[in-house]
Amino acid sequence: MADTSFLEWPFFEERHRRLAREVEAFAARELDGLALHAHDQETVDLTSREIVRRLGRAGLLEHACVVAPGARLDVRSLCLSREVLARHAGLADFAFAMQGLGTGSISIAGSAEQRAAYLPPVMRGERIAAFALSEPQAGSDVGAIATTAMPDGGGYLLNGTKTWISNGGIADHYVVFARTGAAQEGKAGTQGLSAFIVEAATPGLEIAARIPVIAPHPLATLAFRDCRVPASSMIGAPGEGFKIAMATLDVFRTTVGAAALGFARRALEEALRRCQEREVFGRPLGEHQLTQAKIADMAVAIDAAALLIYRAAWTKDVTGRRVTREASMAKLYATESAQQVVDMAVQLFGGTGVVSGVTVEALYREIRALRIYEGTSEIQKLVIAGAVMASER
């Protein structure tokens, strides 16, 4: 049974505690029997779609989008949802998170028409969303984006390649970032980037390749070849793409830490169960001091990560300001420490811990990617250092 005492921290309101209980009940009721650990792409895709449908029916995707003008995403709700879902199944967390990330730019900067057209069906689980920022030569370096959007009559022609796109191949729409401005003429940097909503069925958009990874999720490389979109598909104004992308990540980066926290909590639960059941040298594994030292390290790392995550989420929700420093700290520490917690759990399981299908083995594969996507740990350190030094000037 998961420790829920942290919900009494002053970061949360009663609605957050109620949501945590709702997500827990959903996971216990709806995830059992699904192919959550399948390795073949077709089954992973089908399961992802089914999870989205069930999340929508349960009303939980209402926390991943905001339709009302001026309303803000509640980061604490996003984090709690991701933490609970990740503790149960990485694919369930993925399905929830991508509905939010894939529409985050629309929630934050979309027009009234765009919000009305795209957000309600995503919230109902009827459409699947995706966020297309990364490219083969532009991951952490957003300024290296080479995909272009050239004016063409009453719209734009998109040409380029996007990769590592979550929900690639199953999404109904993609939020795509491309160059519309001066950078097309060879000027490097983030100026001239714009954001577009591109329907998956748009001619000129192709799924170039599916990407198999160690913890199977729907991932793909997208190719745009004279992909024509109307001017009305642009989110915000021309040249605002970088600002929109960073505002979106400013919300969702903290939630990556929350997913890592969910994996870490599950790893500790599994380790504690193992320590009670396994006997070594005539007594339970948990009675050995070196085992207790590992359990202590795991517990401290989990609480420290939770404090950083919910500080960042609370600050964003209450003040509404940018939380780049706080979010980067939360993402960095939570993902790095969760990797260590899961590794310690595997160690406590011994040989059983590396057997395919054992929960801690699955967690070991799930956690690794979180130290890379939405900004690697190295990039987070640069962001944090820059913010710290700027505050001292």
Catalytic option among 30, 185, 374, 378: 374
Measure the CA–CA gap between 23 and 54, rounded to whole angstroms.
12
* HEC-encoded secondary structure of 323-381: CHHHHHHHHHHHHHHHHHHHHHHHHHHHHHHHCCCCHHHHHHHHHHHHHCCCCCHHHHH
Rounded to the nearest 10 degrees, the angle between the axes of helix 324-349 and helix 359-368 is 150
Examine the residue annotation and report whether 374 is marked as an active-site residue of this protein: yes
368, 335 Cβ separation under 8 angstroms: no
Q: Which residue has the tokens 């598909």?
A: 233
Which two tokens mark 355? 């057997």
Rounded to the nearest 10 degrees, the angle between the axes of helix 324-349 and helix 377-391 is 140
388, 325 Cβ separation under 8 angstroms: yes
The CA-based angle 287-292-294, given to 5 degrees, is: 140
Which two tokens mark 234? 């642009």
Q: Which residues are catalytically annotated?
A: 374
